[in-house]
Structure 1
Amino acid sequence: MAPVGVIAMNLMNIVKRTMQPEPWAEGEKIPWDEPGFSGRMLKYHLSQDHDMASRRFKIIDMHVSFIDGLVEGPRKVLDLACGPGLYASRFTSLGYKVRGIDFGPASIEYARGQAEKSGQEIDYVLEDMRTADYGEGYGLVLFVFGEFNVFRRGDIAAVLRKAYDSLAEGGVFVTEPHTFDAVKAIGEAPKSWYSGEGELFMEGPHLALMECFWNEEQRVAINRYIILDAETSEVTLHSSTMPAYTNDEYVKLFKEAGFSEVDFHDSLTGEDEGRNDELLVIVARK
């Protein structure tokens, strides 16, 4: 039986697939919370050869140094979509009290194990940030690397309100959403494929077919991943939808959540070095 959020298919389903899927009709997002997928994703998080899932450690070090200088409130951090704790552990080393929330089981298990090894007290929570208890009194809420755009518009508005409520007065929310043009480019990317094993979507030998769609009316990019198991010929479908926002729409979202100041920065290093043209850096203060 296919995991929740995964659609089982056969080869004829591929041929007769919907050529212009509706947003979210084929799935909420790729299966971050599925144990096997989460375990394979962890390898991408920890790799020092690329910045695909998490940044390399030297870049994270620069980010933490810059973000630390933004904090004017209590030395207490909420790290949303914390992954394997690469930011959380560094803020803890600077004297912050940290709670990290993620629903990838392998990432949380790894983060907890690293904290235990190093003797750090970090509250890692395995839960969906849409439903998790955030706590309160934070000087910083952190939500980095494009995760902002994987949520429905209503869900991200609710996350922003929860983040605002969790901050102490003068606390700051730091995030990296995609630019409007970056999301549109994702939706307009050409079809592609690969064959291999030990990759993100499957451990065994498989063929992966990817196609993307841009929905101009709803201004969302839809990513479809069709995975063919080379040993069993079983086919599974994963899909994710990414809403696009203009800079003015981002400001409106934050203002509606209650934030009094909303500023844009060049990068999380505060300089052009480390700049990613596909991502914005938004710093919003309560």
Structure 2
Amino acid sequence: MPYDINTILKKPELYKETGIPFWDDEHISKQMLKAHLNSEYEGASRSFAFIDQSVKWIKALVPSAEYPQLLDVGCGPGLYAERFAKAGYHVTGVDFSKRSIQHAVSSAEEQGLDITYHYQDYLQLALGERFNLVAMIYCDYGALSQSNRQRLLQRIYEHLKPGGRFLLDVFSMKKFAAFAERQTWERCPDGGFWTEQPHTVINGNYRYCDNVTLEQIVVLTQSEVSVYYLWTTYFTPESLIEEALAAGFKRCGVFSDVAGTTYSQESQTIAVLLEK
């Protein structure tokens, strides 16, 4: 199949969507689940040790006795949800990866955990109930465009009870400063993360504006071209809180991460606790 390499590698407009639901691709979703469940690899989920520390801190900050109903947005295979349930919360998890939800349901059943999972796009969140605490962890918020972030905040706000809390984290401007623009390629004759077929991957890292980056992945096989866009918006505490206030939230606290580390400008992440 002939390729127009200039067209393929063209830098797209800001926040252009992939158009391919790769999180539900039969092969890619298997690789994503493996990444989630590998505690030594933090590309999809944080280490299990960090997750344990995080849940312990969250329970101390927002106790399950006072905030019993918890919604885990972007729950993946249930790594946080299971620990929240064991910490005494009544947990509901939402994710748009069918394979992750299937794993989460199976894992909860095996452990006898009463967790409700929904296979749903959280931008279309419509659960018909309200929660005391919503958690959105591992910087998913920054993967969204500005309009979709506004949309998500509205959905979260609607699903919180009065006085309910919302905990989320994002990547910081310190992380943005370390992002280098570059193009690389890799030949994968035996298949790889993106496809089991022999293929070539061309990676392009680009900066946009003063706080947005794109990781563009072009996968070339003998018969087709697939292009994936991984966007990241980076924040200061002020810019993140500004978006939250515009959606009606109140600021409760700012931290370096969702394990409660004291905020520092040197941190790669920022976590905020908000209140309805």
Which of the residues 33, 47, 52 maps onto 2:24?
33
Amino acid at match of 2:242: K
Residue 110 of structure 1 and its aligned partner are, at CA, apart by 0.3
What is the distance in 2 between the residues matched to 1:224 and 1:195? 16
Q: Which has the higher contact order (CA 8 A, sep 6+)?
A: 1
Amino acid at match of 1:228: L
Residue 207 of structure 1 aligns with which residue? 200
Contact preservation (8 Å) 1:149, 1:177: yes
Which of the residues 126, 135, 145 maps onto 1:133?
126
Residue 161 of structure 1 and its aligned partner are, at CA, apart by 1.9
Sequence identity (%): 28
- Aligned ranges 1:1-286 → 2 under 5 Å: 11-17=2-8, 19-25=10-16, 27=18, 31-71=22-62, 73-183=66-176, 185-186=178-179, 188-196=180-188, 197=190, 199-216=192-209, 219-229=211-221, 232-271=222-261, 277-286=267-276
Residue 236 of structure 1 and its aligned partner are, at CA, apart by 1.6
Q: Match of 2:193, SS? A: coil
Residue 15 of structure 1 and its aligned partner are, at CA, apart by 3.7
What is the distance in 2 between the residues matched to 1:82 and 1:190? 32
What is the distance in 1 between the residues matched to 2:226 and 2:33? 21
Contact preservation (8 Å) 2:134, 2:160: yes
What is the distance in 1 between the residues matched to 2:161 and 2:130? 4
What is the distance in 1 between the residues matched to 2:26 and 2:267? 32
Residue 30 of structure 1 and its aligned partner are, at CA, apart by 6.9
Q: TM-score, normalised by structure 1?
A: 0.85
Contact preservation (8 Å) 1:34, 1:104: no
Q: 1:18 to 1:40 in 2, by over 3 A?
A: closer
Deviations 1:32-86 (A, max 9, x none): 2333321210000000222111112121111100011121543111000000000
Q: 1:17 to 1:234 in 2, by over 3 A?
A: closer
CA RMSD of aligned residues (A): 2.4
27-36 vs 204-213, greater mean Cα deviation: 27-36
Contact preservation (8 Å) 1:74, 1:168: no
Residue 235 of structure 1 and its aligned partner are, at CA, apart by 2.4
Q: Match of 1:49, SS? A: coil
Q: 1:29 to 1:261 in 2, by over 3 A?
A: farther
Q: Match of 1:66, SS? A: helix
Q: Match of 1:192, SS? A: strand
Structure 1's unaligned 5+ residue stretches are: 1-9
Contact preservation (8 Å) 1:80, 1:141: yes
Count residues in correspondence: 271
Residue 176 of structure 1 and its aligned partner are, at CA, apart by 1.0
Q: 1:93 to 1:195 in 2, by over 3 A?
A: same
Residue 29 of structure 1 and its aligned partner are, at CA, apart by 7.6
What is the distance in 1 between the residues matched to 2:78 and 2:174? 30
Q: 1:184 to 1:224 in 2, by over 3 A?
A: farther
